[in-house]
Each structure stands twice: as C-alpha cells, then as structure tokens.
Structure 1
Amino acid sequence: MTIIIALLLFSLIVFIHELGHFLLAKRAGVTIHEFAIGMGPKIFSIKKDVEYSIRLLPLGGFVSMEGEDGESNDPNSFGKKSMLQRASILFAGPFFNIILTVILLVPVIIYIGTPMPTFDKVMPNSPAQKAGIVVGDTVKSVNGEEVKSWEQLVNTVHSSNGKELKLEIDREGKTQSVNLTPVKNEEGAYQIGIVPVKERDYLGAIPKAFKMTGDMTVQMITFFGQLITGTVPGGVGNSVAGPIGVLGIVSDAAKMGIFNLINIAAVISLNLGILNLLPIPALDGGRLAMIGLEAIRGGKKLDPNKEGMIHLAGFALLMAFMLFVTYKDITRLF
C-alpha cells in the first residue's frame, strides 16, 4: 500500500511540474501535442485539442510542444515564440514545484507548532529547576534584553559560554528575577534544561514556509555544487537516490504518518524544481541557458536541429546517471 502511495505522490509532484509548462505554453498559444505523466508505453490516453496520457513508467512526464526540439514552420510552434515567452514556459515547471513546496510546508509547520519562550517542561536537576523556574513560566528578558522568540532565547543561551544569566520571567502575571548558569549537553551546546510550549501559528506558518523553502534551496544548491566537484561527503553513489530509492524514502515516511509524508513530498518537489534549473542540456535550465546565449547573440538562434542534438546528448548522459543511481539503490537494498 505504501508503494502505491509513493507512486501517486511522485506522480502528483511531476504533474504539478508539467502543469506549469502546459499552462504557460497554452497562454503563449504554443501548439501542444501531448501532456503525459510517466514515460514509456501509454496505458491510458484521451484526445481533445491535446492528447492527455498516462504512461507505464512513473519516472517523470513531459509536455510535447511543436518545434521544441527541431525546426518547424508552424507559426504557433515553441521556436516561433519570443525569448520571454519561451523562457517563461521553461521556468514555469520548476517554479510550480517551488510554490508546491511552500504550500506543502504550511500544514507541516502548523502541525509541528512554533516553540515559544514559555516552558512546557523543566528537566530534573537542570539549571532552570535549581533556579526555581517552573512549568508555565515565560521568559521576558535575558540580561536586560527583551526576548521575543524561542529561537532568540536558545541563541542567547548557546552564546553565553557558561556565564551566569539573569532572566526576568512572567509567572501568572507577576515578574520575577532568577539567575542561572547554563551547562553543556552531550553535543557541547549550552542549555538550561527546559522544553518550550508549542503553539499553532496559522498566519506565521506562511512566511516560515517561504523561509524554510529558501533555506532548503541554499542547502540543495550547495549539495549540487559538491556533486559536480566530487566533494560530496560519503561519495556521490551514497548521497543520491534514484526512483527506487525515492520510493523507499516515501514509503518509510508514509508509515510514520501523513505529516511526515507531506514533508518528504515538499523536499522531493523542491529537489525536482532546483534540479531542473541547473544549466544541463535536456533540463529546463539547459534550455534556459540556450535562450540566454541567444540573447547574448542579439537574438540570433542556434540551429534548432543542432540544439536538439545537444539536448539529446544531455538526455543520454542523464539516463546513464539515472542507471548508475538506480544500480546503487538496488545494491543498498541487498
């Protein structure tokens, strides 16, 4: 059952990506032949103005546009559109994945809750307990500086270097002062031994989802840089996953609950979006790079057939890499 859930989830993420391309291509008036989810032989299709199909292998999808990988005399072909229109069509797929990431993270953040500088638990024999802090106390200031968030309190404690701190706390509407000295935990970070109350912040979850998406994007770009330079900790083969590995990850997340599954879906969606923006032939980023080169050349296009061959070669390399990571996935299973 979890494998079916994983396949449906991955197909949904691919669908959103291809929907971005499809909607912008429709808006630009491009002739579209097929909107497909999956690769390989068709297992279902319906023909209207466009053929909508589901294919056997759930490894991706595509929007087949007239004149995308070759010359065409159709005035509504992809190649006949302006640079801005073509760039917007290509960028739309990854952009839709990034927006999907934000949307998926919002309910996850709401479910997890936002930690507040109010204490839900005080650890036995901790500096907080010895100072007389009790459950329900709220930190108002540390060393005279107002505390506005749990993150600020944690950073203040971590940067104390074990020096005594003066806390102003609110206890049932009354302000009290306590002095305590943070101690190091097993990881070497300073702490005072408290667990925060977590509140459901419905409005605050939206900007936090954008921030989390931005932070993950930076991490992914850093990883892709390490991947290209061969400096990935643990080696390339052990740091990437192919379709089998992704299905395994999603299946494990499904067993742990719906919000774990949604969180993994957000990470996969962002990975798909950022990966497709890399300037690699056959990917959206590679095609965007070609449009950028066209702009530098003053609007002079590369020969469409030659460009198509470049993307075909890039696709072959990507498939070879996919086979490699799939092989690593299989070896990890055994």
Structure 2
Amino acid sequence: MLTAVTAILVFFLVVIFHEFGHFIVAKLVDIKVHEFSIGMGPRLAKIKKGETEYSIRILPIGGYVRMEGEDEASNDLRSFNNRPILSRAAVLFAGAFMNFVLAIIVFSIIAYVIGVPTTTINKVTPNFPAEISGLKSGDKIIQINDKPITKWEEIVSEINRGKNKELEITVLRENEKKKFIVKPVLDKQSNRLMIGIVPKSKKSVLYSIKIGIERTIFVIGMMFKFFQMLFQGNVSTKDVVGPVGIIYMVGEAARVGILNVLSLIGLISVNLGFFNLLPIPALDGSRLMFLLVEFIRKKPIEPEKEGFIHFIGFVFLMILMIIIAYKDIIRFNVFR
C-alpha cells in the first residue's frame, strides 16, 4: 500500500508539473485549451471552468493538454496551428522546462534539509588521523598548508590534493590559532583520501537553490552521457526501466525515507523532461522538429499528416512500454 500510494503521488506530481507547463504557456499566448487531464484512460472526475475541462483519469501514467487545432486543421484564430511559431514552440518546450524546475525544487529542498557543510568540525571519527593528531569538535579550520579555507569544498579539495602527504591544518579553537600535522588515509569504499572529520551544517536558502540547480544540470549531463553510451552499444535493456521498475524503486525509496523519495522525484522529473525533448514522434521534441521544418519551408505540414505520424509514434511507444514493463516484472519479481 505504501508503494502504491507513494508511486501515485510521485507520478501525479511529475505529470502535473509537465502538463501545467504546457497549459499555462498555452493560456499566456491565448491558445484555446479544451482539456487539462492528469492521468490516462477512463475519467474519474471532471470540472469545467470557462472553456477548459479539468479531469482526473484512472491511470496515473501520464496526462495531456488538449488544445484546439493541435492535431487537426482548424480555422479558429485561437487554435494551436494558427499561433506564431515561437508561441507554439514555447508551449511545447514548457512541459520539459517545468520538469527541470520541479527537479531544482526537490533537489533544493534536500540540500536545505541536509544543510550546508561549514568549516567547523562537528565530530571526529575515532582512530582516524584527525583524532590522533589532536583535532576536536568545535575546531574551525581556517588554513591547510598555505591555502586559506573559507568553505567545506576547499577542505575536501586540499585533503585529496595532498596525495597521502602530511597536511598542516590551522584551526581556531576558542579564538586561539592552533596548528596540527595530519596525514590523510585512503578510504577504500570511496577511493578518496580522508582525515575523519564531520562538518557542522547550517541552513541556507540561496546555497540550497544553487545546489538544486547544479544537481539538475548534472543529471541532465548524465542523460546525454547515457544516450552517447546507448549509441555506442554500451547500454543493455537491463539499464532501462519502465513504469513498473519506477514503482518498485519508489517503494524502496519510501521505506528508507522522504529524502530518498524526493531525490527519486527529481531524477524521474529530469528524465521525463529530457526524454520528451527527443525527436521521437508523439513527443514534444518531435513536434518542435515539425515547427523547425515549417520555419524552413515557410509553410506548415498538413495537421492530419503530422497527427498520423504522432499516432504511429504513440503506438510504438506504447508497445515499447509494454515490453519494458514485462521485463521489469520479471527482473523485480513483482508477483513473488
């Protein structure tokens, strides 16, 4: 039950952000929106406000914003196909953009909860170099060798730059400067040098947002790397999971704690945003490609032909999803 509820909430949150991006930009550029739907399949509930119907459907595996003239010809001046190319491109890109925004939000929340590591030692690990040399909890590291220290990342950098050599660490202890000679040791698990200290942390909204942005950019970079490896033949089907696999991972994360669930939300959101920008029929990236062709040709492709191509792409994606779901069921032994 915990897995099911958590998975539904995760899917709904990611989908809502994605579809809200399409929806709000469509409204801003004055495109007529017939329906804003969260979920797929039979409708569970609906409410109509103005010209738009808002609905929740039974399968929490997607959603859509149905706009006038998106996949068919329309003479309505407010139809999707009658708006300027830049306006349509903004609508299409907005879904992925909001997924990246969601990732930044959840990664920032995680960073804020964990806190910003400072240069003050919270505790020293027993029998490690820091304790043996005389460093104590409360010491504020202000210099390592000749390098002034202002943030935790500089401490980590200087320790690893030492290459197992002794470090002269200067600290403030009760407003008095003290120097200690510390020789880092290699941690076999992380394969990094360490001296055995844990920093005190403080809360910082701006720093947390910075970390959220950096983490999102890092995950996007990993997505590019994944597809590079895919084209090079270095990725197998075991490295890809579908909705069933995601639900399994959400359940595992929920058992560990809320921060793990938030981290998974960020990863899923970036993946959804990135994947939707790929030039695959039925995805936003493909629609953006059609706009580029229209810009080059100075005239649009017939909506019915474009719609048919997207329909073929949608069928292909559904078949692919079923195949991946079957592999997930076997791999994770869902019905054990």
Q: TM-score range by the shorter chain?
A: over 0.9
Q: Secondary structure at the match of 2:238?
A: coil
Aligned partner of 1:54 in structure 2 is 56
Which string of whole-angstrom CA distances, capped at 9 and with x for unpartnered residues, describes residues 84-114 of structure 1?
1100110111111111111222221111122
Aligned partner of 1:227 in structure 2 is 230
Separation in structure 1 between the aligned mates of residue 321 and residue 228 of structure 2, nearest angstrom: 18
Aligned partner of 2:332 in structure 1 is 333
Which has the higher mean CA deviation after the structures are superposed, 110-119 or 222-231?
222-231
Separation in structure 2 between the aligned mates of residue 333 and residue 216 of structure 1, nearest angstrom: 24
Q: Give, in angstroms, the shift of residue 228 of structure 1.
A: 4.4
- AA in 1 matched with 2:318: M
Aligned partner of 1:17 in structure 2 is 18
Which string of whole-angstrom CA distances, capped at 9 and with x for unpartnered residues, describes residues 8-66 of structure 1?
22112201111111111122222222111111122222234222211121110011112
Q: Secondary structure at the match of 1:63?
A: strand
User: Aligned pairs, how many?
Assistant: 330
Identify unmatched segments of 5+ residues in structure 1.
none
Q: Secondary structure at the match of 1:203?
A: helix
What pairs up with 1:226-265 in 2 under 5 angstroms? 226-232=229-235, 235=236, 237-265=237-265
Aligned partner of 2:8 in structure 1 is 7
Q: Give, in angstroms, the shift of residue 300 of structure 1.
A: 2.1
* 1:203–1:309 distance in 2 versus 1, CA, 3 Å: same
Q: Secondary structure at the match of 2:78?
A: coil
What pairs up with 1:35-74 in 2 under 5 angstroms? 35-48=36-49, 49-74=51-76
* 1:310–1:42 distance in 2 versus 1, CA, 3 Å: same
* 1:92–1:208 distance in 2 versus 1, CA, 3 Å: same
TM (norm. structure 2) is 0.93
- AA in 1 matched with 2:6: I
Separation in structure 2 between the aligned mates of residue 131 and residue 97 of structure 1, nearest angstrom: 48
Which string of whole-angstrom CA distances, capped at 9 and with x for unpartnered residues, describes residues 176-198 of structure 1?
11222222221432221222222
What pairs up with 1:294-333 in 2 under 5 angstroms? 294-297=294-297, 299-333=298-332
- AA in 2 matched with 1:255: R
- AA in 1 matched with 2:73: E
Separation in structure 1 between the aligned mates of residue 150 and residue 295 of structure 2, nearest angstrom: 49
Q: CA RMSD in A?
A: 1.7
Separation in structure 2 between the aligned mates of residue 114 and residue 227 of structure 1, nearest angstrom: 36
- AA in 2 matched with 1:150: W
Identify unmatched segments of 5+ residues in structure 2.
none
Once superposed, which parts of structure 1, at least 4 consecutive aligned residues long, lie more than 4 Å away? none
Q: Give, in angstroms, the shift of residue 146 of structure 1.
A: 0.8
Contact 2:248 2:332 (8 Å CA) reproduced = no
What pairs up with 1:76-91 in 2 under 5 angstroms? 76-91=78-93
Which has the higher mean CA deviation after the structures are superposed, 320-329 or 38-47?
38-47
- Does 2:180 correspond to 1:196? no
